[in-house]
């Protein structure tokens, strides 16, 4: 069952300017709900293979590349909330794809282009960006509640974090 925007917490008052005044169509709700839903499913695994990344990149090229070159955004880093605002805008402008393509787009952006603040981001974002399980994300949250993280060295101390992934993604990890 797909969840609605508000159930995921990405589309709340203030997250998208004038969201109550926006025209929402059945196609934008259906397509965008799928992107958010599959993105949440994608962050739950924490396991990424090269084949997944290639497949996800092809999905980005198929869905996003219909209207503009992917070079327009593939080097940009944004928060997951900001990417979701842009996804919603693109869906309103006609972007669409299959469920698998939207899953791949969401996963690709989360795992490759999303900034995460270790001291503030929710567990789902920590899982997706850091490539960790939900349990490890919860351990990060428990630790930060009494002692915020200051750097990657402190983050590496959490059991279950792959130091190689941290090294690969360090330019997208904020404290």
- Of 3 and 45, the structure prediction assigns the larger pLDDT to 45
The domain segmentation of the chain, as residue ranges, is: 5-112, 117-174
Mean pLDDT, the chain, as a whole number? 80
Contacts of 119-125 with CB under 8 Å at 24 or more apart are 119/144, 119/148, 119/149, 119/175, 121/80, 122/9, 124/40, 124/43, 124/44, 125/43, 125/80
Percent of the chain past pLDDT 70, that is, above it, reads 71
CB 64 within 8 A of CB 90: yes
Six token digits for residue 168: 């690969």
Q: Is the pTM of the predicted complex or chain greater than 0.75?
A: no
What is the pLDDT, as a whole number, of residue 52?
A: 77
**pLDDT tens-digit profile of 56-88?**
999 999 999 999 999 999 899 999 999 999 999
Instruction: Using the predicted structure, report yes or no on whether residue 126 has a pLDDT greater than 90.
Output: yes
What is the distance, to the nearest Å, from the Cα of residue 161 to the centroid of all Cα atoms in its chain? 18
- Stretch 35-52: mean pLDDT: 51
Cβ–Cβ under 8 Å, residues 117 and 149: no
Of 12-26, 54-68, 111-125, 128-142, minimum mean pLDDT range: 12-26
Query: Using the 8-state DSSP alphabet, how is residue 3 labeled?
Result: P
pLDDT of residue 145: 97
Question: Each residue of 24-53: b (16+ CB within 10 Å) or e?
Answer: eeeebeebbbbbbbbbbebbeebebeeebe
114 vs 39, residue with greater confidence: 114
């Amino acid at each position: 069952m797909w969840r609605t925007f508000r159930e995921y917490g990405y589309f709340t008052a203030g997250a998208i300017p004038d969201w109550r005044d926006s025209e929402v169509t059945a196609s934008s709700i259906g397509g965008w709900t799928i992107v958010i839903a599959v993105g949440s499913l994608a962050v739950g695994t924490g396991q990424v293979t090269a084949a997944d990344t290639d497949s996800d990149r092809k999905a980005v090229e198929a869905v996003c590349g219909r209207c503009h070159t992917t070079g327009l955004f593939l080097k940009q880093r944004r928060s997951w909330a900001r990417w979701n605002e842009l996804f919603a805008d693109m869906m309103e402008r006609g972007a669409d794809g299959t469920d698998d393509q939207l899953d791949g787009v969401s996963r690709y952006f989360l795992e490759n282009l999303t900034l995460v603040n270790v001291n503030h981001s929710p567990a789902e974002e920590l899982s997706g960006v850091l490539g960790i399980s939900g349990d490890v994300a919860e351990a990060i949250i428990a630790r930060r509640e009494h002692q915020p993280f200051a750097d990657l060295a402190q983050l590496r101390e959490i059991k279950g974090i792959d130091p190689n992934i941290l090294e690969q993604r360090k330019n997208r990890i904020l404290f």
